[in-house]
Structure 1
Amino acid sequence: MTAVTEHENSRAVWRKSSRSGSSGGECVEVARLGSARGVRDSKAPKAGYLAIDHGRWVALLSEIKQGNYDL
């Protein structure tokens, strides 16, 4: 995880995952937070978010695309 300044946090523009359906099910949102990326539950945005530094974000996306987290 990485530290995010209040300024970066206040300027965050959250967008819903393209894989999220319109049925209101399990959805995540992502935002750019300076050099980090934030990930949060779209159903509970005030519950907080996970901030991931750029290098780890790129690695996570690669693993997801390879199907390493498919159920």
Structure 2
Amino acid sequence: MTTPEFDRTELAWRISSRSLGGNCVEVAPAGSLIAVRHSRRPDAEMILYTRAEFAAFVEGAKAGEFDDLT
């Protein structure tokens, strides 16, 4: 599969309102994908997920599946 190219400066990045001290990830819609990056390193690697993958993660987080990691 070929990774699509996006101009990261054109994406509408969002950060959680619960982010403390910049230690958070940012997300942005990127066509049919969701882009994820570290808020302190906006020019570093950007990871792309399908909307189904991202939805599965969000649902798991809402259900408390990752609570032991915080």
Specify the TM-score bucket, using the shorter chain as the normaliser: 0.7 to 0.9
Match of 2:3 in 1: 3
- Point out where structure 1 has 5 or more consecutive residues left out of the alignment: none
Deviation at 1:66, TM superposition (A): 0.9
- Distance across 1 between alignment mates of 2:57 and 2:65: 10
- Find the residue that maps to 1:39 and give its secondary structure: strand
Deviations 1:16-44 (A, max 9, x none): 122212x33x2110000001101110001
RMSD: 1.6
- Point out where structure 2 has 5 or more consecutive residues left out of the alignment: none
Match of 1:39 in 2: 36
The runs of at least 4 aligned residues of structure 1 exceeding 4 Å deviation read none
**Count of aligned pairs:** 65
Higher relative contact order (CA 8 A, sep 6+): 1
- Find the residue that maps to 1:46 and give its secondary structure: coil
User: Amino acid of the residue matched to residue 34 of structure 1?
Assistant: G
- Distance across 2 between alignment mates of 1:67 and 1:61: 10
Percent identity over paired residues: 40
Q: 1:54 aligns with which of 31, 43, 51?
A: 51
